[in-house]
């Protein structure tokens, strides 16, 4: 990882070297879960039909989600560019989710107009991905 935090507190500085896991883990697990669910769970056809995507695009989205999650986890050990690749794969998927599915309602709870909930959660994930895209493995 990058340089220590240099907070003046030895304990905080040691822990700071591992703080990236607090950002990368939830983003990676959400991306993996949603991608694997599309491939193995609810199915690509249902996903594609539900939001009006061609099957090939739905497959690309699911593949990007799985690849993003794996790259984010592996990148912590294998290298900075792999972390950035994972984040770069996550960003367009999250933007698609925001603008194609969740736009128009901020709150994450489902409503009559937004049965899949609003965009609050996806925006948070997008900011995590953007941070990791910019910073990579640097703390």
pLDDT exceeds 80 at position 1: no
The gap between the terminal CA atoms of the chain, to the nearest Å, is 7
- Which residue's entry shows tokens 């703080």? 19
Tally the C-alpha atoms within 13 A of residue 137's C-alpha that lie toward its C-beta: 16
Residues found in the chain:
139
Q: What's the burial of 118, exposed, middle or buried (CB within 10 Å: 0-12/13-18/19+)?
A: buried
Beta strands in 6-97 (DSSP E): none
Alpha-carbon distance of 125 to 122, in angstroms, equals 5
Which pTM does this prediction carry? 0.85
Mean pLDDT on 9-23: 84
| Contacts with 97 (C-beta within 8 Å, 6 or more apart), sequence order | 119, 122
Q: What are the contacts of 113-121 at 24+ separation with CB within 8 A?
A: none
Q: State pLDDT tens for residues 35-75.
A: 999 999 878 998 898 889 999 999 999 999 999 999 999 99
């Amino acid at each position: 990882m990058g340089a220590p935090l240099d907070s003046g507190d030895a304990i905080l500085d040691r822990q700071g070297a591992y703080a990236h896991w607090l950002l990368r883990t939830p983003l990676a697990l959400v991306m993996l879960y949603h991608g694997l669910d599309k491939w193995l769970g609810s199915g690509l056809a249902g996903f594609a039909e539900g939001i009006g995507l061609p099957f090939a695009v739905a497959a690309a989205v699911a593949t990007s989600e799985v690849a993003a999650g794996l790259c984010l986890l592996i990148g912590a050990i294998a290298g900075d560019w792999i972390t950035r690749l994972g984040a770069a794969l996550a960003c367009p998927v999250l933007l698609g989710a925001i603008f194609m599915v969740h736009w128009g309602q901020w709150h994450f709870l489902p409503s009559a107009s937004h049965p899949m909930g609003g965009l609050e959660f996806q925006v948070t994930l997008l900011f995590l991905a953007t941070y990791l895209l910019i910073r990579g493995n640097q703390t």
